[in-house]
Every structure is written in structure tokens, then in C-alpha cells.
Chains A and B, each alone.
Chain A
Amino acid sequence: MKILVPVKRVVDYNVKVRVKKDETDVELDNVKMSMNPFDEIAVEEALRLKEKGVASEIIAISLGLSEVQETIRNALAMGADSGIFVNCTSKLEPLSVAKILTSICNKIKPDLVIMGKQAIDDDMNATGQMLSAMLNWGQATFASKLEIQDKKIKVSREIDGGIENIEVNLPAIVTTDLRLNEPRYASLPNIMKAKRKPIDEIKVEDLNIDIEPRLEILKVEEPKSREAGIMVKSVDEMIEKLKNEAKVI
């Protein structure tokens, strides 16, 4: 079984992002970048399926400028077998990413695509579902547990009211939620080994896909800020304030 894991390079989880003065974007210069945390979970899940003997090959793919190859290397250092780097200089929306991934899937024919449910930069939560639609494959979003049986995958999904269990025919798309697993750290020997693993480069122009953005970003601004209130000294004072000042209880 072959698994494709798309990985996205995003501003690190711990960075407090700031809006640029000219309000065109957030500040991305000299900011620490990392693999999208949900994609790390996706890589980890693929590795576990390989360790169980269910999967035989794991391919990590990333799209963008040459720096995204670092993110692919991270996936390789965690244990993925090889990488695909789609070289693209223009900004990509989930719709374009899904189209590019569709074209790659039609070529390399994975049995399963595992990817993050959302990227923590644009918070779109869209690419996995769009890819499933374009390939006409089943989808299991927000996965917190999965198990492969024959030509099917059983997935527990995190939904608003609790957990939903579904069974999807393979090939399929799974998008990961936080509780699926805890990703491993790459060991030093594995980081060294990853340097010798192959990364195929594809130029986006060669795929002949319309990647013109459909959403024009007119402005990126600070959210309305919330001012800190007061510190109360006792529970009595708290109750008094909530009753008589805020009038919420």
C-alpha cells in the first residue's frame, strides 16, 4: 500500500503573528517556519501504518518555493521514503493545491492520502475535501482513530457532538485531527539518512493546471483588541461584579 502525505510549510505554532504595517499580509520575514502540526500528525500516522506492515511506501509532497523542500526533508527525517517537490512561485489557494494533488495522484496512484485537517496559517480546512471531490474518492475528515481492513478504512471522526465512526472504500482521503497520535521527533541518524533520500522535482507549469487565485486578499488587519479588565481580590468581589456591574448572572 502506497500512502501520499501532503505537508505544508507554515509559521511555527508558537509564533505570535503580527499584521504588516501596510495591511497586505502578516509579517513573514525572519519568522520561524515549521511543518503544519496537523501534517506532522499525518506523517506519523503513515509511519505507524508502515511499521504495522499495512503500508509499504510513504511519499511526502509539498508545493511552493524551494524552501518547502526543508519541510519535505523533515518528513523524510521522520521516516517517509521519498519526496515530491512541486516548484511553484505563485501563491496557491486550497483549490489550486487540490488540483495539483489530483494530477499527482492520477500519476502515482496512492491507495491512501493522509493530510492535516487544516493549516494553521490560513485556517481553511478545505484541501482534503476538495481533493476527494476531484478524485471522486471517499473522505474521512477530522480523524482521531483509523484502522485498515482489506480494501476499506475504518475511521473515528471528531464531530460536534462526539465521535462518528465511518467506513470508507480505498483509495480514500483522511484528514487528521489532534488526537490521532503524537508525532515523533526525528533522531539525528534519521536526519542524516534523510539527506540521501530522493526528492523528485516537478515544475507546476508542466502540469498545465489553472492556479489563478479566486480570492483576492484586499486587506489583512488586526482583530479588534480586547482590553484587560481588573483583578478582583476575592470570590465575593467576583460575584458582586458579575451580578451588579456586568449583570451576567
Chain B
Amino acid sequence: MKTLVIVDHSNNKLEKSTLNTVKAGTQLENVDLLVLSDNCKDICNELIHIKNINNIFINENDVFKNQLAEDSANFIAENFKDYTNILFSNTSNGKNIAPRLAGLLDTMIIPDVIEIVDKQTFKRPIYAGNAIATCKSKNKINIITIRSTAFEEAEMSDENIGEIKEIGSLTSNNLTKYLNSELTKSERPELTSADIVVSGGRGLGSAENFQVLEKLADKLGAAMGASRAAVDAGYVPNDWQVGQTGKIVAPNLYIAVGISGAIQHLAGMKDSKVIVGINKDEEAPIFSISDYGLADDLFKAVPEMESKLN
């Protein structure tokens, strides 16, 4: 039995969720890593310290700079089809590449796994997390995406553990061309790995009003999130969306402001350690899962909270 973890990165910066995926991988067996990038050096300098892994396979190729699904999936299918498990993080890269690889290898993907019961049995949420399905796999190769908030990070060592090896070659099939990205620039922590998340909903009323929340977030060193309603209304960028079809977060503290608490939003944040709801409607469903609720006007409560924190 061999397990391969595909290392996720953006612009050659390691995505933290990879460490959670490696941790999940170590519950299976014999973990190797694969880095596909135009420049693997910085990523490998971090990966080499992860405990309980064997090989770090790399392929440096300009083709992999933007992790296009077509080239990445072809490369993995050609070089790693003797593996028993291939794990991805359930990030936008993982969600894009993993099912394509599964299609190439004629195997049924097991997405968004939150628990590994045994080597062929996995738990995953369905219906926006309103039910948990336990699936037993009859696949020859399990291609799995891992929900990072459900697993700890892999332990690191001061020593060098993994052995870096170059592998394979690929010629691009040129089906798809990367043009450019419009990335949201932010000094704040990354949403999916932040300790504290401050999230706003339709109750904010406008893009300008979000500044009220941003001040609070900056005081707390928090990441910013939002409900689908706030993103759809154009108040904030799409990559702030928390929920069934957005990002899944589980910070120590989640502060939901002006968010009513639709099940689709709760699906993305209900595993947070402590949840705070601030909403002027005291009947709002968000209060039914909040540890601490405050039924008050957010435009009064949030600035007051911000000014009283030191």
C-alpha cells in the first residue's frame, strides 16, 4: 500500500492545508509527496521537515506554474498509477484536479473526507453538512480530497526527513491556456487557517459598511469572511464566501455579524470552536448555534466592541 499526497501551492508558496492532508495520509500508509511547479525549491525547504513521510517527488516544469488540471492530472495518472491512495486538499486546486484524475483512472473520487474510518472506509458530509455519509470504497485506487479543518497539521521536525527525487516528464496537451489572475490582496491572515474570523452578511447593507467589520477584524488580527448574500450583492470579493459552496472554516472564534444563518452558511462554519452571533433580529437562526448571541444593531455594537478591545 502506497499513499501519495499532492502538494498544493499558489505562486510557489505552500498551502497550509497540505499539512492537514499529509496528516490524513499518515492514517493510511507509506506517504510520499508530489510537488508540481515551475520552481519547487522554497516549497521543498518546508516539506523536508514533515515527519512520517518517505519521498518528496518533484517535477519542475513551466507547464505546472499555474497547476492547470489537464496537465497535472495527466502527469499524475502516467507516473503514479501503482499507488493505492492519492490525496489532495479540498482547495480550489484539489477540487479542480482530483476528479479529473479520477476520470482518467476510472475510479470514483471520494471528495471532502472528514474522517478515515479504516483503509477503505471514509466519512464525508452530504446535503450541506446536514448528514454524514460513511462510504466503503471498492476502488482499486482511492482518490480522495481532504477537508483540512477536520484533520490536525502534520508534525514537523528540525531534521531533514523526506528525500527529494525528480520524477517523470510531461508534454502539455495544450487544451487550456492560463491567462492571468486577479488575486485579492490582503494583509490579514488566510481565511481557512485563521484563528479568528469576522464574517458579514446582507445586514451590512453595502460595501462601504463592511469597513465597520474590517476595523474589528484588524483589532483582533482576524480574517474576513462573508455570507453568500453579501458576496452576491457585490459587497465583498467571492473568495470571502463561507458556506456549502464557498470555504469551510473552523477557527477558534467565528464572529457572524448581520448574518441570518441559512443552512448553506452554517455548513461552512459550524465546526468553529466558539461562535458569536450579532444580529438585530433576535429570532435569527444564527443564534441557535451561537455560543454567545447579541441581539443588537450591528452598527452600534460592532464599533463599540472594536473600541473596547485593546
Chain A residues proximal to chain B, CB less than 8 Å: 11, 13, 16-19, 26, 38, 93-95, 98, 117-118, 120-134, 136-142, 144, 154, 157-169, 172, 177-179, 213-223, 226, 228-236, 238-239, 241-242, 246, 248-249
Contacts and interface: CB of A to CB of B under 8 A. Distances in A.
Interface of B: 10, 66, 68-70, 73, 91-93, 95-104, 106-112, 121, 125-139, 173-184, 192, 196, 220, 228, 231-232, 237-239, 244-245, 247, 252-253, 263-264, 270, 273-276, 282, 287-296, 301, 304-305, 308-309
B176 A167 contact: yes
Nearest to B139: A214
B39 to A, nearest CB: 18
Contact of A179 (B130, B231, B287): B231
12 contacts: A94-B99, A133-B99, A136-B175, A139-B176, A163-B181, A164-B180, A216-B135, A229-B291, A231-B292, A232-B292, A235-B308, A246-B292
A238 B69 contact: no
B292 A236 contact: no
Point out which of B102, B109, B220 has the most chain A C-beta atoms below 10 A from its C-beta: B109
B269 to A, nearest CB: 11
Listed from nearest, the 5 A-B pairs whose CB atoms lie closest are A133-B103, A130-B103, A138-B175, A129-B99, A229-B291
A222 B305 CA distance: 36
A246 B291 contact: yes
Instruction: Say whether chain A's binding surface is mostly helix, strand, loop, or mixed.
Output: mixed
Contacts of B173: 136
B289 A228 contact: yes
A219 to B, nearest CB: 4
B96 A129 contact: yes
Contact of B132 (A16, A125, A214, A222): A222
Contacts of B192: 160
Given A129-B99, A249-B309, A123 B135 contact: no
Nearest to B117: A218
Nearest to B8: A160
Contacts of B275: 226, 229
Given A169-B176, A229-B291, A129 B100 contact: yes
A235 B148 CA distance: 33
A246 B274 contact: yes
Nearest to B305: A235
A123 B90 CA distance: 12
B122 to A, nearest CB: 9
Contact of B178 (A118, A144, A164): A164
Contacts of B69: 129, 132, 139, 141
B232 to A, nearest CB: 7
Given A94-B109, A142-B92, A220-B133, A165 B291 contact: no
Contacts of B175: 136-138, 168-169, 172
A229 B293 contact: yes
B95 A163 contact: no
A166 B68 contact: yes
A230 B220 CA distance: 22
Given A120-B127, A123-B127, A125-B95, A214 B138 contact: yes
Contacts of B127: 11, 17, 26, 120-121, 123
